[in-house]
Structure 1
Amino acid sequence: MERQRKGFNRLAAIYDYLLLIPPGRGFIKSQEELIHLLPEKKSCLIIGGGTGNFLRSLIISGKVTNIVNLDISEKMLAKASVKIKDLYQDCKVEFRRGSFDKIAEEEKFDLIITNFFLDLFSQEEVKTWISFIHEKLSSEGLFYYTDLQISRGKTLRTFMKNMYIKVLYFFFRNTTSISGKTLIDLRTEILQSGFNIIHEKGYLKELFYSAIFKKRS
């Protein structure tokens, strides 16, 4: 994790500039696609919030009143803090540096968000994170998720999408030492871990996928 922390610290300086390269803007837009469908929630946990683009949009939406923004990179957290300092919304934000060990055993959240986060890990680590999210959601809690999506088929478009994903993995493995080597079927992993889909939407020809999940009762 220390190597990953240092890697994301280095990446923080250029991360927002990378989003200007097509289809980088889709990373931001796809995350925001379903915000308007969220009911109002009191407590929210954002895991791997990065430089705070989504955090800012969520605060402006007025959907939540208390947010814990969790990230392993102090430089990502610093950039996120700057992005929301001019907002005067009725929302309290707490920044925490670290992993799930920074969430107290008794803490529960009405909304947990991961945007382009689960794709950083191996399949076993993904299972651990999804289990953690399931445990930390309140009884009526929602899981808000956006990530890359596997494409199947033999069309040129599918080939180009999968090549783009391979380039992303090569870049992030070499710059941030992530453990994930290839994209797995994250949607299926989530559904098999005790969640139902409330809303879902593909973006940029299904390259990105956003969904709101709820724990099965």
Structure 2
Amino acid sequence: MKKWLVCILLVSLPCGCAETPHAEHGQELNLYEIRKNHPYQWVEKHHVQLTDQQKNELAQHGIEIGESEETIVYYSMTTRRGRSEVEKAFLAQGEGECGHFKLMVDIERSITIEEIHIIENPADQTGTHCINNDFLEQFIGKDLNSSFEVAKEPGDTRTTPDRIRPIKNAPITSEKIAKELRKWLVISKILKRDYPVWSIEQ
């Protein structure tokens, strides 16, 4: 299940759900072209309204959900339409030292981060992109039992190797990305538990 994201299309892939804009949620993405030889061809967009119980559960994990995030938008890849889900994809985004970033995180059905794709990479004053693949690769394979703590000092990773090495000169961005990725792992676990049949089109 590697690198199924090839390029960003200019238009959204049609799905069974109503073409409601949902732009206010800030989680919409342009959909992607699946690799021609990929065995799983169905990709659907879903909108799920979080219940009060689910929001309380997220709060217990230290995750605060804003009003614009109460409707979760995710993209489901299945072996057949609405069945046998392989993975979900979510938009992880935030503001850092260099500006706004957008990442696509692919989460396997085992609730493990499989891949992270850079959608929008802000640049610093020299024009150098802030986020690099070396930083993101540290999250691949992580699950909810993994540490998402970002090292405060360069030497911290030698004494505590499970800490995340931060992006050079971008500690805020590093922290924001780590929190976003953990948040989507928790949400993915809740969705898997509460919606075991992947036919939700809201």
TM-score normalised by L of structure 2: 0.28
TM-score normalised by L of structure 1: 0.27
Whose helix fraction is larger, Structure 1's or Structure 2's? Answer: 1
Higher relative contact order (CA 8 A, sep 6+): 1
